[in-house]
Amino acid sequence: MNFLIRRFRPEQIRELFLVFLIFLVVVFFSIEIEGYFNARFVNRLSTSVVVVAILAVGQTLVFLTRNFDLSVGSIVGVTAYYVGWQLWHHPEIPPMAAVLLAIGYGMLMGSINGLLVAYGRVPSIITTIGTLAIYRSFLVESTHAVPITTNNLPDWIVDLPTVSLFGVGVLEFRALFAIMVLVVIVFQFMLNYLPFGRRLYAIGSNPDAARVAGFPAQRIVFMAFLLSGGLAGLAGFIFLSRFGNISVLAGIGLEFASIAAVVVGGVSNMGGSGTVVGAFLGALLIDLLENSLFRWQVISEFWRDAILGMLILAAVAIDHVVIGRLRTIWARAGLQMKTEEQQDKPEVESHVG
């Protein structure tokens, strides 16, 4: 028991618990739906989770600093449309340049958010509600609502979602999924091991203390929004390649989807706690539920949203109760260990003396 307590923190058990929940959902629907869990389903899931998962990674960075980014839905829409527009009019643009262009567009919009929040000291919820409307309005007005269709795009981007890096039988490891895995790993690594990552946690847990300790708080918050914007730009590129047909209303509602994923993944909206892997698991759980409820014949398709909301609530409530219990166990055990160590110490000292 003590070994377990020393080895893991409640937050890590939260992630194991999410994996367990995902497992439960798969088992439940495997019993309910015939031929539910097969390689093709995994392939489909691995493509559909990508956009929200990447957004959730960016949202996690912002959440860690005790802020919100509600504008990601519009950033995805603007980048998807404008990268599509560039590819339509300049089909010779190489794929890497298109990706960088998307990230650049995203970072541009993210930096506006970051400037306003970090240096203008406008609360993030106000800033991003505002920019959500402003970016969307810019898109609608500047494009005269001409949609982008698959026919206008170069072949490579339309085929991208089905490109797989390697496959085991029917099971494929697709390129888009690979991008997402890379993003999750890189950012989890950054949060765990780089000074910048640790500072995100420091600022979120106690902004005043972080400032007094001399962290460049404004710059770090700015960077969080910049990265969130860049990731939203990347998500916009993937959105474009997945759907191909982009109207000016593309990506509406993704801001709530990303927040739902992050929150189910256990990232605290009071800042300072949560992981990128957790956010990814949250996105995966929600996507799995959406895809599964869609195939469940017992209920009509109209029940999907009603059940989805309840399940998100259930996931968060169970998590709250379980993690709360675990924290008290941990705290008690930690106290016990400490007192044991203190009881040990005088004996050692007396030996020496």
DSSP H helical ranges for the chain: 2-7, 10-32, 39-48, 50-64, 72-89, 95-114, 124-143, 155-159, 175-193, 195-205, 207-212, 217-243, 254-264, 276-295, 303-352
Span from 44-52, 90-98, 130-138, 237-245 in contact with another protein (CB under 8 A): 130-138
- Cα 44 to Cα 177, 261, 291: the distances in Å are 10, 19, 9
How far does Cα 194 stand from its chain's mean position? 19
**Would you give the binding string for another protein spanning residues 30-69, x where CB under 8 A is met?**
----------------------------------------
125 binds another protein (CB under 8 A): yes
Is the distance from CB of 280 to CB of 184 less than 8 angstroms? yes
Using CB under 8 A as the binding rule, the residues of this chain from 104 to 123 that contact another protein are: 116, 120-123
Q: Does the footprint of another protein cover residue 138 (CB under 8 A)?
A: yes
Closest CB to another protein among residues 3, 302: 302
Contact string (CB under 8 A) for another protein, positions 233-262, x = contact: -----------------------x--xx--
- In this chain, which of 163, 313, 331, 337 binds another protein, going by CB under 8 A? 313
Query: Does residue 123 sit in helix, strand or coil?
Result: coil
Q: Is the dihedral of CA 69, 70, 71, 72 positive or negative?
A: positive
Contact between 130 and another protein by CB under 8 A: the answer reads yes
CA distance 228 to 48: 20
Q: Is 309 in the site for another protein (CB under 8 A)?
A: yes
If one asks whether residue 208 binds another protein (CB under 8 A), the answer comes out as no
Q: What mask, x for binding another protein by CB under 8 A, covers residues 277 to 306? A: -----------------------x-xxxxx
Contacts of 142 (CB under 8 A, 6+ apart): none
User: At 266, which amino acid appears?
Assistant: G
Binding site for another protein (CB under 8 A): 116, 120-123, 125-127, 129-134, 136-138, 140-141, 256, 259-260, 263, 269, 300, 302-310, 312-313, 316-317, 320-321
